[in-house]
Chain A
Amino acid sequence: MRSAARRFGRLLLAVLREISDESAYQRHLAARGRPHSGAEWRHFCEHRLRAKYARAKCC
């Protein structure tokens, strides 16, 4: 029971990380082999947010 709750908690956190773009940022760092920095986050945001807010949001 406890392990199922822990698994659910981990999954929930992973969903929140995906929605918040934190996972995408980790993938961005891994793909480029760069460490996290303020400049890298800003660089990532530029591409990510431009694409994200060019798409229709649902009603």
Chain B
Amino acid sequence: MKLLGHLVWAAVAVLGAYCLGGIAINRGEPINSIWLVVAAACTYAIGFRFYAKFISARVMALNDKRATPAERLRDGLDYEPTNKWIVFGHHFAAIAGPGPLVGPVLAAQFGYLPGTLWIIIGATLGGAVQDFVILFASMRRDGKSLGQMAREEIGKVGGFIALLTVLLIMIILLAVVALVVVNALKGSPWGTFTIAATMPIALFMGIYLRYLRPGKVLECSMIGFALVIASIFGGQAVAASATWGPIFSLSAMGLALSVVIYGFFASVLPTWLFLAPRDYLSTFVKLGVVAALAIGILFVRPELQLPAFTRFTDGTGPIFAGKVFPFCFITIACGAVSGFHALISSGTTPKMIAKESHAYPVGYGSMLMESFVAIMAMIAACVLQPGVYFAVNSPAGVVGTTPAAAVATISSWGFPVTAPEMATLAQNVGEQTLFYRTGGAPSLALGMAAIFARGIGGQAVVGFWYHFAIMFEALFILTIIAAGTRVGRFMLHDLLAQMSTRASKMGGISWVVVSTILVVAAWGYFLVQGVRDPLGGINSLWPLFGISNQLLASVALCVATTILLKMHGPKYLWITCVPLVWLVVVTFTASWQRIFSPQPSLGFLAQAEQLAAGPQTAATQALIFNARLDAAVCGVLLLLVAIILVDSLRVWYGILKGTRDSQVSESPFVASQLRAEEL
């Protein structure tokens, strides 16, 4: 039996290696997406069975006889021992955001190979390890947050900087995801109507849940889903109407201002009325669509049209500037490693883990699942004809302001596409144009629609599937904006409270309004900057988001390394140090290039200098200021993480030299009384 097990795992390893080799070596002809799926699945299986098992047994020594915080501090609310697969689903739903969907689509500008390899390898050796170790550390410390652990394990400076970094990341994240929505909906009455309709639907759901059928969340969400589907059909009618079509056809700036106003109201309205019902609905839609996409890819098995590598690995890409190293890794972000996951792994999840061994599938396994979502997004982007992919994603400032100029430029890169071809595609999905829709959402929606339509309905319903995919992306991005603005308000309060005791007493409705305006103004500024950017905004904002997310992952890995060092000395440091060193090299290189590169499309300062040398108008002045602001934000993030890194190195040196307390600050051992049948 044991021999059979060894043989099965050997077969999985050989199959995975064969598929990875296949996708790496193949050149010049389309490859079937199933190669990517099998390569990823086999690598994840090997990583889960051997690497994660090794970490859980040797390094963490997970012990089911030890009571978890869920058992010891059980209160029926936050702390509650829960079945491991339920925690798995809950944790996955919490970590799955727009990042792993949008990042791979943008990184496809380098071809399918660099992004795919990083998604698979980065998640197995970096992202999943980070999530797992932080979940374990928090579970052994009564469910403490990353900030609290940073304060205790590294020092006060580390804790404060972790909080400040998260707030900065949150602002950039909200701006960039808002820009993705704006670019997907500009000039699209069908999409705009559908998304606008989700707002009264959410309000109806809030009232239904509170007064009509209290507690019936699943029932209410099903009604909400039916209404959203009806709104997609309604959107089609609106787009065709001579009266209503123009009303819902908004410019990018009009949409940006609408999103800013939405962000303010959505985060100050009572959570039960708007945010909570919307959040339930978007989570269910998100999980359903991810599952449907997985089934669709397995069923349809589409061929990838993008090559393994494109010419843009040299840094001249139209969607964002920068060479494959380091920008592929920065752009993929959450699909391989996400600092934000450390906040979830040290949030609700550790308070629900019933047995220590459950942290293994929940912490490590959930990240593998997220990584698989990123692989699916990569496939959805790569099933498009390369010319179409670049026509949809390239900004007018790079390819030309008319369709004729755009297709000529893109065709000259070796990716043939014609204006009539793009017009037919737009017509098929019910849009006026698909040019200049930077941000990844429309190209992902096109890929998803192509896969879904081949499964159900054929070409006749491709417009419905396209708008269904756009609705799915915009619905949960707008929910993140509402929730993120609210959280930003609390973070601002915490940050001010750490600096002044007077600030800690601020409260009441006026503080809510003022702090919300401050947070909305902060991300709204970057959003408007992105809309005005002739290079499409994504060129500057997405790398900034990627850098900040990976820097947060560096903070989490610093905390994890400190904990491993205290537990075992230097023996197992490589587990977190290898991904940490890689992330530091990648993020510091990317940040340095974004600030100081002499290439104006890449370096913020060079861009400002180039603009300053030309004719000066108010718009140019604003662009110069924005480029310098982006450079400053990038510099601040770099400085903050450098401080944490130096602080951590100081702590590690002290522990290794024996001049610093190396006591592990875990909660004391309490024997578990929990029986298996209770779960």
Contact = CB atoms under 8 A, between A and B. Distances in A.
A41 B214 contact: yes
Q: Is the interface of A mostly helix, strand, loop or mixed?
A: helix
A54 B483 CA distance: 8
Interface in A1-57: 11, 14-25, 27-28, 30-31, 36-38, 41-42, 45, 47-57
Contacts of B272: 42, 45, 49
Interface in B620-679: none
Given A56-B340, A59-B99, A28 B77 contact: yes
Contacts of B313: none
17 contacts: A18-B86, A19-B287, A25-B215, A28-B76, A30-B76, A31-B76, A36-B214, A42-B210, A42-B272, A45-B272, A48-B77, A49-B275, A51-B78, A53-B271, A56-B343, A57-B483, A58-B95
B177 interface: yes
B99 to A, nearest CB: 4
Q: Is the interface of B mostly helix, strand, loop or mixed?
A: helix
B334 A41 contact: no
B173 A55 contact: no
A55 B166 contact: no
B217 interface: yes
Interface in B42-90: 75-78, 80, 82-83, 85-90
B218 A17 contact: yes
A55 B283 contact: no
A27 B86 CA distance: 15
Contacts of B218: 16-17, 20, 22
B214 A42 contact: yes
A17 B80 CA distance: 14
Contact of B341 (A21, A45, A50, A58): A58
Contact of B549 (A27, A31, A42, A59): A59
B400 interface: no
A52 B481 CA distance: 15
A16 B97 CA distance: 17
A59 B85 contact: no
B93 A49 contact: no
A53 B78 contact: no
List 7 A-B pairs, minimum CB-CB distance, nearest first.
A15-B89, A31-B76, A41-B214, A20-B217, A49-B271, A38-B214, A59-B99
Given A20-B221, A55-B487, A56-B340, A15 B334 contact: no
Interface in B81-109: 82-83, 85-90, 93-99
Contact of A36 (B215, B284, B479, B484): B215
Contacts of A49: 271-272, 275-276
Interface of A: 11, 14-25, 27-28, 30-31, 36-38, 41-42, 45, 47-59
A59 B177 contact: yes
B159 interface: no
Given A21-B217, A31-B75, A49-B276, A58 B85 contact: no
A15 B94 contact: no
Contacts of B483: 53, 57
B480 A59 contact: yes
Given A19-B93, A20-B217, A56 B76 contact: no
B365 interface: no
Nearest to A41: B214
Given A27-B77, A56-B170, A56-B484, 18 more contacts: A14-B83, A15-B90, A19-B280, A19-B284, A25-B215, A28-B77, A36-B214, A45-B276, A49-B272, A53-B275, A56-B343, A56-B347, A56-B487, A57-B479, A57-B484, A58-B99, A58-B334, A59-B97
Contacts of B486: 53-54
Contacts of A28: 76-77
Contact of A59 (B83, B173, B211, B347): B173
A16 B99 contact: no
Interface in B268-283: 271-272, 275-276, 280, 283
A56 B95 CA distance: 10
B35 interface: no
Given A24-B77, A53-B487, A59-B97, A11 B347 contact: no
A53 to B, nearest CB: 5
Interface string B211-223: 1001101100100
A53 B348 CA distance: 12
B340 A47 contact: no
B539 interface: no
Given A18-B90, A19-B90, A27 B80 contact: yes
A18 B523 CA distance: 32
Looking at B76, B96, B215, which has the most chain A CB atoms within 10 Å of its CB? B215
Nearest to B99: A59
A57 B99 contact: no
Nearest to A51: B78
Contacts of A47: 77
Contacts of A38: 210-211, 214
Contacts of A15: 85-86, 88-90
